[in-house]
Structure 1
Amino acid sequence: MITEQASRTPVGSWTVHAVTVSPEAGAPEGRPTVVMVHGLGMSARSLLPTARLLARDFRVVLPELPGNGRSTRPADVLDVPALADALVDWMDRVGLPSAVLVGHSLGSQVAVHAAGRHPDRVTALVLVSPSRDPLINTPWKKALRLLLDGPRESPKLLPVAVVDYLRAGPIRMWRTLRASLETDPIRTLGRVRQPTLVVRGDRDLLVSPWWARTICAVVGDGRVATVTDGPHGLPFSTPADLTRAIMPFLRDYPGLLS
Structure 2
Amino acid sequence: MYLRLARQLARERTVFVYDPPGHGDSEGRRDFPVCIEHLTDHLAAWLREAGLEGTPVFGHSLGGEVMFDLAARYPHCAPALIACAPTGIPENPSVRLQLLRLLRDLPRERLGLLIPGLRAYRRCGARRMLLLARDQEAHMTGPLLPRVQVPTLLIDGQSDPVIQTWTVDCICADIPEAIVCQIPRAPHGLTDTHPRAVAQLTLEFLRGEGL
TM-score band, normalised by the shorter chain?
A: over 0.9
More helix by share: 2
More strand by share: 1
Structure 2 counterpart of 1:168, from 106, 124, 140: 124
1:180 matched to 2:136: yes
Q: What does 1:105-120 correspond to in 2, within 5 Å?
A: 105-120=61-76
1:232 matched to 2:162: no
1:54-103 per-position Cα deviation (integer Å, ceiling 9, x unaligned): 11111111111011111122121421112111001111221222211110
Partners of 2:48 and 2:140 lie apart in 1 by 27
Q: Percent identity?
A: 33
TM-score normalised over the length of structure 1 = 0.78
After superposition, the CA RMSD in angstroms is 1.4
Partners of 2:206 and 2:181 lie apart in 1 by 13
Gaps of 5+ in 2: none
Aligned residue pairs: how many? 210
TM superposition shift of 1:133 = 4.9
1:60 matched to 2:15: yes
Aligned to 2:54: 98
Aligned to 2:2: 47
CA contact 1:186–1:218 (8 Å) conserved in 2? no
Aligned to 1:75: 30
Amino acid at match of 1:123: P
SS in 2 for 1:181: helix
Partners of 1:57 and 1:239 lie apart in 2 by 14
Amino acid at match of 2:18: P
CA contact 1:133–1:206 (8 Å) conserved in 2? no
Partners of 1:123 and 1:179 lie apart in 2 by 27
Aligned to 1:217: 173
After superposition, the Cα gap between the structure-2 partners of 1:247 and 1:60, relative to the gap in structure 1 and judged at 3 Å, is: same
> Which structure ranks higher in relative contact order (CA pairs < 8 Å, sequence separation ≥ 6)?
2
1:142-166 per-position Cα deviation (integer Å, ceiling 9, x unaligned): 1110111000011111111110011
Where does structure 1 differ by over 6 angstroms across 4 or more consecutive aligned residues? none
Partners of 2:105 and 2:122 lie apart in 1 by 19
Partners of 2:92 and 2:70 lie apart in 1 by 23
SS in 2 for 1:120: coil
